[in-house]
Amino acid sequence: MKKVKLGADTLLYPMPAVLVGTIVGEKANVMTAAWCGIAASRPPALSVSIRKERHTFKGIEQHGVFSINVASTDLATKVDYCGLYSGRKTDKSDLFELFYGTFEAAPLLRECPVNLACKVIHTLDLGSHVLVVGEIVETYVSEDCLSHGKPDPVKIDPLIYTTVTQEYRRLGGVVAKAFHAGKTLQES
């Protein structure tokens, strides 16, 4: 398999397309982010990379809390809108139905199937972006996205961002069972 060198590039697949909820000044704001991932299990933590000049970053600095909301595919247009237009000029406070959990300054988006209320525990200035590490203090899931009491990825129907081609995609079918498929190699 011949390889082509593309220089230093941020080429990772897949990326989530999540919505970051904050209060900036007195107003709720929602920003789209694809550079987000889980960071630890004890304490449960995630990281999200945000440009310093973003309106959302102001809210995170101001209150030290934020929310990460997993978007479903039916929200693609709103997700894209929240990535295109800054809260500095565009009021996005009534784009979603908001609710509040543990933190008054971390608005949660009811239409999103999964909502994580987060408290900032570290920030790391990397240059273009600040890596914000948040402790996940509460998790909310839409009741209709559960199967046998557990979050069901098919019902959650998460929006996926693919870089370079700049598309939102959906989750595809099951390829293999994790923590299981690889055992066949050990036995062979």
Q: Which of residues 96-125 bind its own copies (CB under 8 A)?
A: 99, 101, 110-111, 114-116, 121-122, 124
- As a whole number of angstroms, the distance between CA 28 and CA 166 comes to 27
Q: Which listed range, 21-29, 58-66, 177-185, lies at the site for its own copies (CB under 8 A)?
A: 177-185
DSSP state for residue 72 in the 8-state scheme? B
Residue 10, number of CB atoms within 10 A of its CB: 10
The nearest distance, CB 124 to its own copies, in angstroms, is 6
Buried b / exposed e across 95-110, counting CB within 10 Å, b at 16+?
A: bbebeebebebbbbbe
Closest to its own copies by CB, 63 or 83:
83
- Which residue in the block uniquely carries the two structure tokens 């066949």? 184
3-state SS class at 112: coil
Closest to its own copies by CB, 61 or 138:
138
Give residues 144-173 in contact with its own copies (rule: CB under 8 A).
144, 146, 150-153, 156, 158-162, 164-173
With CA atoms as reference, report the closest residue to 159 among 34, 38, 71.
71
Give residues 19-78 in contact with its own copies (rule: CB under 8 A).
34-47, 49, 68, 70, 73, 76-78
Segment 179-185 long-range contacts (CB within 8 Å, at least 24 positions apart): none
Closest to its own copies by CB, 24 or 117:
117
The nearest distance, CB 183 to its own copies, in angstroms, is 7
The nearest distance, CB 163 to its own copies, in angstroms, is 8
